[in-house]
Structure 1
Amino acid sequence: MGSELSMGARVEITKKYAREYARASKKARGRLLDEVVAVTGWSRDNARRRLAAAARPGPRPVAKPRKPRPRKFSYDATKVLQRVWAFSGAQCGKYLAVAMADLLDALERHGELVPGKDRYSPVVRAELLAMSPATIDRYLAPAKETDPLRGIAATRPSPLLRSSITVRKAGDEVENVPGFFEGDTVAHCGPTLKGEFCRTLNLTDMNTGWTFTRSIRNNAHVHILAGLTLAAETIPYEITGLDFDNGSEFINYDVIDWAADRKIFFTRSRPYKKNDQATIESKNNHLVRRYGFYWRYDNPDALMVLNRLWPVVNDRMNYFTPTKKPIGWKTDSVGRRTRVYDEPKTPFQRLLDAGVLSPVQQRELLEHRDSLNPAELARRIQSLQDRLTAIAKRATLDLEASLATPPPDTTRGVKLRRAG
């Protein structure tokens, strides 16, 4: 009978028996094997191999590619979103969704977005305002890039006054009013800390997220004091406290006396504990390093361009870039302790909500906010960044090449056969 069956029929019969054969007991397998041999005409060993092979799971069928779901928002809205994202300083979706209305109002007010021109319309505006943070990130994914460059830590501990300054640890509560600032300096040293190079003094308010940035020639106390004095004159409300790391540029008698004369509470973080200054460390990265890059700036031209750049960046960060603040802790579904954050707001909005400004100050800051054109800020930032790159890129890369360790001489100690 077996010889009368085609090979395809034998294979199909084997498949039907294979599942039962795999689950059967030893005695039952013998009976099934006899049946397969009788039907197919195969030898017993061949039938056993065929049944075992058919019982093994084969490769899963290739799933058909899922048909992409139709786009909820129009192509015009996507193109305008890319422009708004670029003008905002490449904010993530969570923050851009919060700032979208203010950005659109400002861009319309300054004629950068005009209904009926360059794909913008009331319908597109409604689409942009309706986009969720996740949708914004998904639509912007092709346009996003990362910067692979990295810097060098330049903090050097101070042997003076450390025991006389209050230590502030990560998790310590600060007053729930604006005025307490974390501060740090960022070294624009390029690939080496040797020689003199510019530093950037960076301050951020723990309550509102308000930022102040200023570049200085070096870390000498006269330059640090000049930067702090300018901060006290520029920030639109009173500085009540300053928290620095243990660097000698801050922990010295001149800076301590300056703070004491202004009745500014002075604290420091613990050595080697970056989390004690998590807020300013974050600002160092996504403000100073993001906008000022990692080139080496060691001449007056670079210093001048940096100090033209920071006021523009500070306006973008303070008036158009939302931030979020930790407000407590919670336990998730598996028992892990996680941070709870408030709803994102711009530092300017947080400052208004705090109620520390006089009516005159509020009016002046609102007028200043309304005078800012996000698109013009973006163009000025790009122009100044191009100037910084032209000044410092080639010199930084040449310096990096000169410091590179030459490869080892692999021919030393190897005997070479003489020619001829």
Structure 2
Amino acid sequence: MASRREITKKFAREYANAGKVEKGRLLDELVHATGWARDHARRAIRAANARKGAVHQQDRKPRPRKFSYDALVVLQEVWRLSGQPSGKYLAAIMDDTLERLIRFRELGKVDPRVSAEVLGEVRSMSAATIDRYLKPHKDAAYPVALSGTKPSHILRSSIPTRTSMDAPLLVPGFLELDTVAHCGHTLKGEFLRTLTATDPVAGWTMLRTIRNNAYVHVHGALEWMTKHAPAPVAGLDFDNGSEFMNWGVIAWADTREIPLTRGRPYKHNDNAHVEQRNGDWVRKHAFRYRYETDAEMALLNELWGLVMARKNHLLPCVKATGWTHMKSGRKKRVYDAPRTPYQRLLDAGALDQTTAARLAREHERLNPARITKRINQIQRHLIDLATARTQRTRPAA
């Protein structure tokens, strides 16, 4: 084995810089010399190169920081006050966010570090640089949540399916729906649920917490969403849960001439947009605790108003526009430039004059720092309520 390792090291040096034909010849020689299978020989060469690269990386001196410490501190505060977006999204809204935070005087504790040079450094950071510098502050793990969706076997044949492979939507107004169960660690008993509706074209999303999945509550949430949707509702798409697949919801949609579609069972990619919002909007802000009471429902709905203002108006999202191929031949998704859902609605010309004026007034008044502070207050209150419930239900020693 020692001889084989030495031979492999020798071939690895040449293999790393060889062309395709030469690599094939080197593999043939290594197979002949060691008796290995060709696939095993290829893996051995790559492993030898990897070990060699690791040694070189240890010897390499770390690069000096390009940005000052003041710029990093300001970046952390801007990231926190804007809702902790990823670097790709924060870089896209950096100019607008800095302008708002300075205008509303929200950079209080880092204000002594703010200067024209520091602001220039923060604005010049790329998305990858932002992610790299913020990584220690973003590492967090979320446990897997329980699912409250129960497949409905009725009405399935009467509702057409819409899959992830269908032609993409081009006009705003179509909504994907789903519910998130605030059940904590068990599905037993009654608990609150949040209804999520998102427009795949514009990215505009609405959230509403309800008592349970009974039709009277789902109906109320649907009425609220159709009333507050910026564009007329052109269709609804949902999974196979019984909260949507029932005669009451179908009759409600028929009365309003809203077409319905559903995804395939166990194919979450058919409702990919709303599934992403469930994690990034609902779970990230309301956590995975159990909520049951009217007070908690009021807090959650106040929280969603703030989250919708921040996510729909101030934080951008990307939209898949097609496919391309990498050099290896693998397919790769292509996305457009990050833009906020509000900007996408304006670009699409989907707003009537009254709605456009109302949203413009709301957009101008938004203070990202004030929104974040109130969100943090509500989150602390929800955590206290969940902690008190846990202590009451804990069995006696």
Corresponding letter in the other structure for 1:297: Y
Shift of 1:102: 1.6
Tell me the residue number matched to 2:60: 66
Q: Report the Cα distance in structure 1 between the residues aligned to 2:257 and 2:346, rounded to whole angstroms.
A: 24
Shift of 1:116: 9.7
User: Is 1:135 matched with 2:129?
Assistant: yes
Q: Report the Cα distance in structure 1 between the residues aligned to 2:175 and 2:206, rounded to whole angstroms.
A: 10
1:254-307: CA deviation from partner (whole Å, max 9, x where unpaired): 111211222212101111111111111111111111101111111222111111
Q: Report the Cα distance in structure 2 between the residues aligned to 1:62 and 1:346, rounded to whole angstroms.
A: 45
Range moving further from structure 2, 65-74 or 232-241: 65-74
SS of the counterpart of 2:111?
coil
Tell me the residue number matched to 1:13: none
Q: Report the Cα distance in structure 2 between the residues aligned to 1:130 and 1:326, rounded to whole angstroms.
A: 26
Corresponding letter in the other structure for 1:366: A
Shift of 1:360: 4.0
Q: Report the Cα distance in structure 1 between the residues aligned to 2:137 and 2:266, rounded to whole angstroms.
A: 37
Aligned pair count reads: 346
Q: Report the Cα distance in structure 2 between the residues aligned to 1:397 and 1:235, rounded to whole angstroms.
A: 40
Unmatched 5+ stretches in structure 2: 1-5, 11-50
Q: Report the Cα distance in structure 1 between the residues aligned to 2:157 and 2:203, rounded to whole angstroms.
A: 29
Shift of 1:140: 1.1
User: Is 1:285 matched with 2:270?
Assistant: no
1:305-329: CA deviation from partner (whole Å, max 9, x where unpaired): 1111100011111011211111111
Tell me the residue number matched to 1:96: 90
Is the 2:100–2:368 contact (alpha carbons within 8 Å) kept by the matching residues of 1? yes
Is the 1:190–1:396 contact (alpha carbons within 8 Å) kept by the matching residues of 2? no
Shift of 1:159: 2.7
User: Is 1:184 matched with 2:178?
Assistant: yes
Q: Quick one: which of 190, 206, 210 aligns to 1:212?
A: 206
Unmatched 5+ stretches in structure 1: 1-18, 24-58, 403-420
Q: Report the Cα distance in structure 1 between the residues aligned to 2:117 and 2:351, rounded to whole angstroms.
A: 37
Q: Report the Cα distance in structure 2 between the residues aligned to 1:120 and 1:203, rounded to whole angstroms.
A: 39
Q: 1:120 to 1:165 in 2, by over 3 A?
A: same
Tell me the residue number matched to 2:250: 256
Aligned Cα RMSD in Å? 2.4
Q: Report the Cα distance in structure 1 between the residues aligned to 2:390 and 2:302, rounded to whole angstroms.
A: 21
1:86-145: CA deviation from partner (whole Å, max 9, x where unpaired): 012111111110011121122122121489933112222222211100111111122122
Q: How does 1:38-49 map to 2 (within 5 A)?
A: none
User: Is 1:355 matched with 2:349?
Assistant: yes
Q: 1:326 to 1:116 in 2, by over 3 A?
A: closer
Tell me the residue number matched to 2:228: 234
Shift of 1:379: 0.4
Corresponding letter in the other structure for 1:222: V
Q: 1:217 to 1:72 in 2, by over 3 A?
A: same
SS of the counterpart of 2:323?
strand
Is the 2:169–2:200 contact (alpha carbons within 8 Å) kept by the matching residues of 1? no
Q: Report the Cα distance in structure 1 between the residues aligned to 2:110 and 2:269, rounded to whole angstroms.
A: 49
Q: 1:195 to 1:115 in 2, by over 3 A?
A: closer
The percentage of aligned residue pairs carrying the same residue is: 48
SS of the counterpart of 1:330?
strand
Q: Report the Cα distance in structure 1 between the residues aligned to 2:98 and 2:75, rounded to whole angstroms.
A: 10
Q: 1:364 to 1:115 in 2, by over 3 A?
A: farther
SS of the counterpart of 2:112?
coil
Q: 1:325 to 1:62 in 2, by over 3 A?
A: closer
Tell me the residue number matched to 2:340: 346
Q: Quick one: which of 318, 322, 346 aligns to 2:312?
A: 318
Q: Report the Cα distance in structure 1 between the residues aligned to 2:168 and 2:60, rounded to whole angstroms.
A: 52
Tell me the residue number matched to 1:374: 368
Q: Report the Cα distance in structure 2 between the residues aligned to 1:286 and 1:325, rounded to whole angstroms.
A: 16
Report the structure number with the largest CA radius of gyration: 1
Is the 1:295–1:396 contact (alpha carbons within 8 Å) kept by the matching residues of 2? no
Q: Report the Cα distance in structure 1 between the residues aligned to 2:323 and 2:309, rounded to whole angstroms.
A: 32
Q: Report the Cα distance in structure 1 between the residues aligned to 2:363 and 2:285, rounded to whole angstroms.
A: 21
Q: Report the Cα distance in structure 2 between the residues aligned to 1:234 and 1:181, rounded to whole angstroms.
A: 13
Corresponding letter in the other structure for 1:205: D
User: Is 1:389 matched with 2:363?
Assistant: no
User: Is 1:221 matched with 2:215?
Assistant: yes
User: Is 1:109 matched with 2:99?
Assistant: no
User: Is 1:164 matched with 2:135?
Assistant: no
TM-score normalised by the chain length of structure 1:
0.78
SS of the counterpart of 1:96?
helix
Is the 2:74–2:110 contact (alpha carbons within 8 Å) kept by the matching residues of 1? no
SS of the counterpart of 2:163?
coil
User: Is 1:79 matched with 2:73?
Assistant: yes
